[in-house]
Chains A and B, each alone.
Chain A
Amino acid sequence: MEIFNEVLVNGSSIQVWVALLAGVMAGMIFGALPGLSATMGVALLIPFTFDLSIMPALALLIGVYCAAVYGGSIPAILFRTPGTPASAATIFDGAVLAARGEAGKALSVAALSALVGGVIGTLLLIALTPQISRFALRFGPPEYFALATFGLSMIVAISESSVRKGLIVAVFGLLISTVGMDPLTGYPRFIYGQASLMEGMPFIPALIGLFAIAEVLSMGGLKSGNTASSESKIARFPSGSDVRRSTPTILKSSFLGTFVGATPGAGSDIAAFLAYSIARQQAGKGDKFGEGEVKGVAAPEAAKTAGTAGAMIPLLALGLPGDSVTAVLIGAFILHGVQPGPLLFQDHSGLAYSIFATVLFAHILVFIVAVSGVRILLRVNQIDRRFLQSGILILSLVGAFALRNNLADVWLALAFGVLGYALRRGGYPVAPLLLALILGPLAEENLRRALILSGGDYAIFIQRPITVVLLLAGIAALFYGLIRRRGAPA
């Protein structure tokens, strides 16, 4: 009862709501601009919270976090340019919908899925934090390797027309992901004397190149005219059947996202890609993934927002960050005198539940802002494509630079642009490349870390239940995918 009162008092403070709304608005912008990540948004707003009292300060930062993760999908759908790594998975179907003049539908489905994902994630956070955090702690190096392997087994499912081409691209992605300092010995690999590559192939410039720049390079990019000509046909909201069809996908992705987000070594981006791949793997008869399937938007959107709620679990329960954003959030919490960890629930349970409530309302506010913004956002379709595309190109290049204030990243983005264009011309799918880029380092690092722990004994992968389950699931998914493909030649 006392806790409830404290939550109520915090919730009735106008300051908290203003801070939350401001955070959500700022977060959307940070998320939507490529190169300005959720991490940066939170970090840059921390100084603004110094003069606020604790709850408004946390509300502002949580608002930024939740909104930035959603905001990345806006340019992903409208311009094929992911604002954040997690939103890259939304492009595959979202951008196709937009190109067909159904951007409004894609944006609404994204917002709705994000809302459901966020709410389910937060409810799990409230109800099961101790249990989930204990489970998440059981994820050690072998488990992360198995998780990455399971994810990589989805390559067959997301390879579109040709498994062969999908595999070529995926192996190429794995190779690229070995660029940089060896994670276990520190020896630089394939960096050709470039210090900028020492920390590995920077992911956001790669995304910007593969999507935004490749789009401009492909001749359609600079054609004049705009996509708003068929205004009357634009569906602004999903049809009832779209919602009904996607509901199971949204629910599954939300649970998956929460758990993946809760493991301290994997964040929203991995959650989004896994959810998209699994949705594709389980595609039903009428589903047209890659050709504007609403489920293809719903799955990653639900998973990534659920992932943000999931990442709060180790943060609050253990005082351990689940991803780079929560690492920054922990610093901010500590600066405001809140020490996340088991003691938070013991000594300041009122505060802990106020934080839960803030997360919940942040997701609801994100939804409201997102849906009311759809109308305004669709206006961009009235701009001449050439001006729009050159604007996006400039913003993308600035974004590639802004991430690390490093000019080398701009050249990388341009190189990836040429690569993306070549892949598109040759009919090679981009999805396996991204999956490999995201999961490659996770797999490599943890395979070798696990072997250090076991003294080189591979038995470590069959001695631990979670590892065995994940590895078997990966093998099953691989064969299921191959058999299905044989059954239905496409």
Chain B
Amino acid sequence: MNVRDKIAWCTVILLLCALVGQRLMRVDSSGTFPNRSVLLICPYSAGGGSDMLARGLARAAEPDLGQTITVNNVTGGGGAVGFVAGLLAPPDGHTVTMITIELVSLPLQGLVPFQPDEFAPILRLNMDPAALAVRADCPANTFEEFMEWSKRDSKLSVGNSGPGTVWHMAAARLAEAASLEFNHVPFGGASHAVTALVGGHIDAVTVSPGELRSQILAGQVKILGVMSEDRVSYSPDSPTFTELGYPLIFGTWRGLAVPRETPAEVRAKLAEVFSKAAYSTELAEFADAAGLNMALASGSDFALQIKNEKAQIASIMKKLGLIYEK
């Protein structure tokens, strides 16, 4: 081995060490917040609803924050990897994490090293209800007829976006509330379930109206009921389940959070800046185009909601056999 070979090897080894070492480094933070750019962790991949919301919000909030906001997609583990990264970051407000309902459901499965209350929510941004949808040519036109069909036809196949996902739980909640029995068919994401519905391979889906919008507008599928307080704007004839006599309010939500140890004044500043951005017309137009149903709520209300939903979600997951006891 000559000298140049040795230099080449040393460089490779040094760079590898640097790669490992960068994780151990923590940036020293002092002075008033924000004194450098803010990182917004999105635990889901680029291009999805969470990502679009994060990027739209970052764009709208940058001028007021006075610092750049970088969206970083830290994905994996159904969101767990991103949540862990958000919790491991220094609690100085320079790392904000987008949280979703999976923050509650993942710890219940007992497979991730965190609990939802390790995050301090600062703002709820959006909520998407679950909607029960069937093909447009389906003989059932109302939820009543759907129930009859369901009872007559043994078990209907209801597609969802994956085991333990919010839409799986939505179907289970519906089945429980209306005493129906479903054959739950998990797909790798809501769009795959909708495709299978349009292709006639399954009987119904429980996903968000946004994920059904193009099919509704094209007259391919129809919504029989929505698990929200209000009807869906682009399917005004579809009733809510509350109207139908089943007071079901269920769906996914997205919001922002920082680690619990973050100082209160930093949290207040973040809440102020991001609320202003979230209430801007710029973001409202963006969310409308992207099919995101904005539903803003303060950090304290949001924290209360997360706390209340935990027990509810735990009981559904238990019924679905998704909680593993050690």
A binding-site residues for B, Cβ under 8 Å:
39-40, 42-44, 46-47, 137-141, 181-188, 195-199, 202, 222, 224, 264-265, 314, 318-321, 324, 327-328, 330-331, 334-337, 339-343, 386-387, 390, 393-394, 397, 401, 404-408, 410, 445, 449, 452-453, 455
5 closest Cβ contacts across the A-B interface? Answer: A328-B47, A186-B163, A43-B46, A140-B201, A319-B214
Of A186, A336, A445, which contacts B188 at CB under 8 A? A445
- Complex interface: chain B residues within 8 A of A452 (CB): 157, 183-185
Can you list 11 pairs linking A and B with CB atoms under 8 Å apart? A139-B199, A140-B200, A181-B78, A195-B80, A196-B81, A327-B189, A328-B46, A386-B4, A397-B19, A405-B85, A453-B157
Of B113, B201, B289, which contacts A141 at CB under 8 A? B201
Q: How far is the CA of A351 from the CA of B187 in the complex (A)?
A: 32
Main secondary structure on A side of the interface with B: helix
Name which residue of chain B comes closest to A390, CB basis: B12
- Given contacts A186-B322, A406-B76, A43 and B51 within 8 Å (CB-CB): yes
Name which residue of chain B comes closest to A441, CB basis: B188
Asked if B304 lies at the interface with its beta carbon under 8 angstroms from chain A, I say: no
Q: Are B217 and A341 in contact (CB under 8 A)?
A: yes
Q: A319-B218, A328-B46, A343-B217 are in contact. List 15 more A-B contacts (CB 8 A).
A: A40-B46, A46-B55, A185-B322, A186-B163, A196-B76, A198-B78, A198-B80, A199-B75, A202-B76, A321-B191, A341-B220, A386-B4, A404-B75, A452-B157, A453-B201
- Complex interface: chain B residues within 8 A of A327 (CB): 47-48, 189, 191
Of A265, A331, A335, A394, which contacts B192 at CB under 8 A? A265
Of B164, B200, B213, which contacts A186 at CB under 8 A? B164
B208 → A minimal CB distance (Å): 14
B16 → A minimal CB distance (Å): 8
Q: Are B202 and A453 in contact (CB under 8 A)?
A: yes
Asked if B8 lies at the interface with its beta carbon under 8 angstroms from chain A, I say: yes
Digit string of B77-90 for contact with A (CB within 8 Å is 1, else 0)?
Answer: 11011001100000
B13 → A minimal CB distance (Å): 11
A232 → B minimal CB distance (Å): 28
- Given contacts A46-B47, A335-B290, A394 and B15 within 8 Å (CB-CB): yes
Q: Are A137 and B74 in contact (CB under 8 A)?
A: no
B214 → A minimal CB distance (Å): 4
- Complex interface: chain B residues within 8 A of A224 (CB): 4-5
A183 → B minimal CB distance (Å): 7
Q: How far is the CA of A265 from the CA of B15 in the complex (A)?
A: 40
Q: How far is the CA of A264 from the CA of B321 in the complex (A)?
A: 30
Q: How far is the CA of A214 from the CA of B69 in the complex (A)?
A: 38
Name which residue of chain A comes closest to B214, CB basis: A319
Q: How far is the CA of A408 from the CA of B80 in the complex (A)?
A: 13
Q: How far is the CA of A405 from the CA of B189 in the complex (A)?
A: 22
Of B46, B113, B187, which contacts A449 at CB under 8 A? B187
Digit string of B171-200 for contact with A (CB within 8 Å is 1, else 0)?
Answer: 000000000000111111101101110111
How big is the B interface, by class? 35 or more
Digit string of B1-19 for contact with A (CB within 8 Å is 1, else 0)?
Answer: 0001100100110011001
- Given contacts A187-B324, A198-B80, A410-B19, A342 and B163 within 8 Å (CB-CB): no
Of B15, B183, B186, which contacts A183 at CB under 8 A? B186
Asked if B34 lies at the interface with its beta carbon under 8 angstroms from chain A, I say: no
Digit string of B229-251 for contact with A (CB within 8 Å is 1, else 0)?
Answer: 00000000000000000000000
- Complex interface: chain A residues within 8 A of B218 (CB): 319, 339, 341-343
Asked if B109 lies at the interface with its beta carbon under 8 angstroms from chain A, I say: yes
- Complex interface: chain A residues within 8 A of B46 (CB): 39-40, 43-44, 328
Q: How far is the CA of A184 from the CA of B184 in the complex (A)?
A: 9
Q: Are B192 and A264 in contact (CB under 8 A)?
A: yes
Q: Are A387 and B47 in contact (CB under 8 A)?
A: no
- Complex interface: chain A residues within 8 A of B199 (CB): 137-140
B313 → A minimal CB distance (Å): 14
- Complex interface: chain B residues within 8 A of A336 (CB): 289
Asked if B262 lies at the interface with its beta carbon under 8 angstroms from chain A, I say: no
Q: Are A140 and B196 in contact (CB under 8 A)?
A: yes
- Complex interface: chain A residues within 8 A of B298 (CB): none
Q: How far is the CA of A35 from the CA of B289 in the complex (A)?
A: 30
- Complex interface: chain A residues within 8 A of B48 (CB): 327, 331
Asked if B141 lies at the interface with its beta carbon under 8 angstroms from chain A, I say: no
Q: How far is the CA of A67 from the CA of B73 in the complex (A)?
A: 23
Q: How far is the CA of A202 from the CA of B77 in the complex (A)?
A: 11
